[in-house]
Amino acid sequence: MTHEKETDFQDIRVAVRALCEGFPGPYWRELDRERAYPTAFVQALTEAGYLAALIPEQYGGSGLPLAAGAAILEEIHASGGNGAACHAQMYTMGTILRHGSTEQKDRYLPEIAAGRLRLQAFGVTEPTSGTDTLSLATTAVLDGDEYVVNGQKVWTSRAEHSDLMLLLARTTAKDQVKKRSEGLSVFLVDLKEALGKGVTIRPIRAMINHATTEVFFDDLRIPAESLIGEADKGFRYILDGMNAERVLIAAECIGDCRWFTEKAVAYAGERKVFGRPIGQNQGIQFPIARAYAQSQAAALMVRRAAALFDSGEPCGAEANMAKLLAGDASWAAAECCLQTHGGYGFAEEYDVERKFRETRLYQVAPISTNLILAYLAEHVLGLPRSY
C-alpha cells in the first residue's frame, strides 16, 4: 500500500520507523494502562535529534523544514506509537525563534536543541474561556522588575515533563484594550523554579494517556525578562505558531490513518467467517477503501500546507483544512478498523481500541472541528462571523 506522503524525506522516515520498532505495541499498552509517560521513547527521539529538527543549525538543531517534522510525526503514528508526549518540544520553541529577543534565543534554543531543556508545556486553555481564548482570565501584573501571575490553566499537557512553559496571560484588562485581540502577553515560565513557589500542577486522568494537567498560579513572581516580544501583543505571537502546530498534528492523523488502514486490511484478509475472508464482503472492504481515499486526499492538503509554510507564504486556510481533513480521515479510519475487528477491536492486545481513543482527540484539540469550520466560513468564504 502506497501512501501519499511516504515519498518525501525517505531517509528520515526509514530511520524513524527503525527507532519506533524498539517501542512496539506492548510498550505503549503498558504505559496506557498505567497512564505513564513514555520516558524511554522521548529520550530516544531526543538523542536521535528528531525533536530538534526544526531548530535552525546556528542554535544546534537540524534546521529542517516543517515538512520534515511532519514526516517524523507521521512515521511515529504510522508505527503505532504516539508523538503527543513530546511533539510540542518540536514546535513550541517557534515562538521564541520568531518573537524572542537575541538574548532569549541564545540562552534557550541551544539548550532546547540539545534536549537539556524541555519546552513542551503550552498554557492557553482555561476552565472558563475554553475555545474563546480572548476571554482568558489569568493575569500577569508588572510589579517593579517582576510580573505577578494569578489564575488557572487547564489541559496543560506535559507540564510535569517540561522545564519551561509558554504562558498566555492577560496584561491589560479586556475593557481597556483598543482591539479585542490585544491585552494578552506571552511569557516563558521556568516551571521547575516556580513549582511550590506559586505554581501547583495537578494531573488530569483522561480517556487517553496524554500527561495532561491543571496548572494553578497563585502570586507567582517571574522576572520581567520572561516576557516574549512586546507586552499586550501575545495573541498574535500564539496565532503565528498555530499553523505549524496544525500541520504537524494533521501529519500525526495521516500516520494514524496508515496504521488503521494497514491493520484493517491485514485483519480483513486473514479473518475467516462463513468460510471466507471477511474482506471479501463489500460491507467490510468499502469502508476501508473509502477511509484510504479520504486519507490520501487529506495527505495532499497536509503536504500543501507544509509547503506553503516552508516557503513563508500565508497558509492559515490550508493549515486549518489539513487539520480538519486529516482529523476526519483518521477518525473514519479508526471507526472502520474497529468495526473490521469486530469484538477483537475492543481487546487491548490489538492496540486498536487505544489508537481509536487517541485519534478521537483530534476532533477537539488543539482546535475543535467546529472552530475550523467557523474560520473557513468567515475568513476564507467571507460569511458572517457566527460567534
Ligand X SMILES: Cc1cc2nc3c(=O)[nH]c(=O)nc-3n(C[C@H](O)[C@H](O)[C@H](O)COP(=O)(O)OP(=O)(O)OC[C@H]3O[C@@H](n4cnc5c(N)ncnc54)[C@H](O)[C@@H]3O)c2cc1C
Cβ pair 157, 115 in contact under 8 A: no
**Does 261 contact ligand X by CB under 6 A?**
no
- Cα(15)–Cα(36) distance, integer angstroms: 25
Q: What is the CA radius of gyration of the chain?
A: 21
Shorter beta-carbon distance to ligand X: residue 124 or 333: 124
Shorter beta-carbon distance to ligand X: residue 131 or 280: 131
**Backbone phi, then psi, for 206, in 5-degree steps?**
-125, 175
Task: Retrieve residue 339's grid coordinates.
Answer: 468495526
**Does 368 contact ligand X by CB under 6 A?**
yes
**Backbone phi, then psi, for 154, in 5-degree steps?**
-135, 155
Contact residue for ligand X among 48, 365, 376, 377 (CB under 6 A): 365
* CA 39 to each of CA 51, 158, 259, 359: distance values in angstroms, whole numbers, following the listed order: 14, 12, 23, 21
**Does 130 contact ligand X by CB under 6 A?**
yes
Query: Nearest distance from residue 386's CB to ligand X, in Å?
Result: 6
Cβ pair 358, 260 in contact under 8 A: no
- Amino acid of residue 314: P
**Does 128 contact ligand X by CB under 6 A?**
no
Instruction: Compute the half-sphere exposure of residue 312: CA atoms within 13 Å on the CB side of its CA.
Output: 1
Cβ pair 185, 169 in contact under 8 A: yes
**Does 371 contact ligand X by CB under 6 A?**
yes
Contact residue for ligand X among 55, 70, 78, 124 (CB under 6 A): 124
Shorter beta-carbon distance to ligand X: residue 130 or 203: 130
Q: Which of 245, 252, 318, 353 is catalytic?
A: 245
**Does 137 contact ligand X by CB under 6 A?**
no
Contact residue for ligand X among 10, 39, 135, 370 (CB under 6 A): 370
Interface with ligand X in residues 311-330 (CB under 6 A): none
Contact residue for ligand X among 59, 122, 260, 292 (CB under 6 A): 122
Residue 245 annotated among the catalytic residues of the structure: yes
**Does 281 contact ligand X by CB under 6 A?**
no
**Does 131 contact ligand X by CB under 6 A?**
yes
3-state secondary structure of 84: helix
Relative to beta strand 164-170, strand 119-123 is parallel
Residue whose entry in the numeric block shows the C-alpha cell 541551544 = 110
Total interface residues for ligand X by CB under 6 A: 23
Residue nearest to ligand X (CB): 130
Smallest CA-to-CA distance from 55 within 19, 15, 11, 108 is with: 108
Residue whose entry in the numeric block shows the C-alpha cell 516557503 = 311
Interface with ligand X in residues 197-236 (CB under 6 A): 206, 210, 212
Interface with ligand X in residues 173-202 (CB under 6 A): none
* CA 192 to each of CA 118, 119, 161, 214: distance values in angstroms, whole numbers, following the listed order: 11, 11, 10, 16
Contact residue for ligand X among 134, 289, 374, 376 (CB under 6 A): 374
Shorter beta-carbon distance to ligand X: residue 16 or 321: 321
Interface with ligand X in residues 140-169 (CB under 6 A): 155-157
**Does 366 contact ligand X by CB under 6 A?**
yes
Q: Give, in degrees to the nearest 5, the angle at Cα 29 between 27 and 32.
A: 110
Query: Nearest distance from residue 58's CB to ligand X, in Å?
Result: 28
- Cα(64)–Cα(375) distance, integer angstroms: 29
Please identify every residue annotated as catalytic: 245
Which residues of the chain form contacts with ligand X (CB under 6 A)? Answer: 122-125, 130-131, 155-157, 206, 210, 212, 361, 364-368, 370-371, 374, 386-387
